[in-house]
Amino acid sequence: MENREYGLDIARIVSMFGILMLHILGRGGLLISNEPTSAKYWMYWAIEIIAYSSVDIFAMLTGWLDTNKKSKASVFRVIELIAITVFYSIIITGVFMVFSPEKVVGLKSIIKGIFPMLVGQYWYITCYIPVAILKPYLSVALAGLSIEKHKKLCIILVGVFSIIPTFTSIDFFVEKWGYSTIWLIVCYILGSYLKKIKDTIKISSYKLGGGYIALVLLMVVIKAAYWSLTGKNVPGIIDYTSPFILANAVFALLIFSRIRIGKGKKILLMVSGAAFDVYIIHCHLFVFDYIINGNFEWIDRFSIIAILFVLFGIAVICYCFLSFLGIMRGYFFNKMRIEKIFRTIACKIDKIIY
């Protein structure tokens, strides 16, 4: 535990907070609540762009943490994630059946609520599962690469899967603009490379932070210029596969990796461990459709300064509440020794695939 990089736990929390913010702004209705001629419109989009690198950060963390990792290859995490998803899905569906029965009508609706991944919900978990299964093989392959070869691989991947699709606005390689296993593997490889070279990077955190802000402003300017010329949203620039978004994710991850923690490590680990719970709960089909969808437009009634306080205040409260539920779920699983069951199942599968 002494060698643990606690700054990366902060990165996991902050990036999941950013994902929550993306959903409040987008699904919540704030991004479409104003015209591009409004100052509020550009404020929302500036926040959106700042938060957009969160998914890439979260994905790169996996590669970073797996580099030089000595633990035994296992599908335990896959089984655990699926079980946690089903656990919350059953509870959320049950809550809606009791308190909003009109929203859960018929067997089909119940099945969608309990198994939302079958209808395309939880795209990140669905795309992450193949990565998690392949991680031991990816890790061994990358460990065998020299830093120079690893660098060349990263350059090729960024060129093929980021730069080309962004500047042609064509998804040549069907990576779905980042909503795919392919992109998560790319981020995994990039995260692994960053771990290898982190001690050789002499750029200060202040300069990295300045670069992050500069790229956010550049993306806002590009979006504004494109809209003024065409009256349309600029394609490709604000996507998970965008080189600008990806660069910001790299800057942020390097900054977080340098953070050192003195006190509060136990609380930090609990909150960090509940990050996926935050994602699973607030991204459930029913929560997305009936609690988040269009239900944050009222924030737009306030002044810009008030909006910032209200928006971030609500996001923080929601995150803290969902983290608390995640911590309680972990406590329940521990007491019921459910993790032991998962490890037993994983052990049998591990013998087959590893």
Q: Could you say which residues of the chain have pLDDT below 70?
A: 1-2
For 53-89, write each residue's pLDDT tens digit. 999 999 999 999 999 887 788 999 999 999 999 999 9
Report the first-to-last Cα separation within the chain, whole angstroms: 26
The pLDDT assigned to 47 comes to: 98
Instruction: Report CA-CA distances (Å) from 121 to 97, 259, 286, 330.
Output: 19, 34, 10, 23
Do residues 48 and 22 touch, judged by C-beta distance below 8 A? yes
Pick left, alpha or beta for residue 178 (phi over 0 → left; psi -120 to 50 → alpha; otherwise beta): left
Pick left, alpha or beta for residue 41 (phi over 0 → left; psi -120 to 50 → alpha; otherwise beta): alpha
Instruction: Report CA-CA distances (Å) from 60 to 49, 155, 226, 261, 274.
Output: 18, 15, 30, 21, 18
Cα 62–Cα 162–Cα 31 angle in degrees, nearest 5? 85
The pLDDT assigned to 22 comes to: 98
Do residues 172 and 116 touch, judged by C-beta distance below 8 A? no
The pLDDT assigned to 72 comes to: 84
The pLDDT assigned to 69 comes to: 84
Do residues 165 and 173 touch, judged by C-beta distance below 8 A? yes
For 305-319, write each residue's pLDDT tens digit. 999 999 999 999 999
pTM for the model:
0.96
Given CA atoms 135, 138, 140, 145 in this order, what sign does their dihedral have? negative
The pLDDT assigned to 199 comes to: 94
The pLDDT assigned to 70 comes to: 79
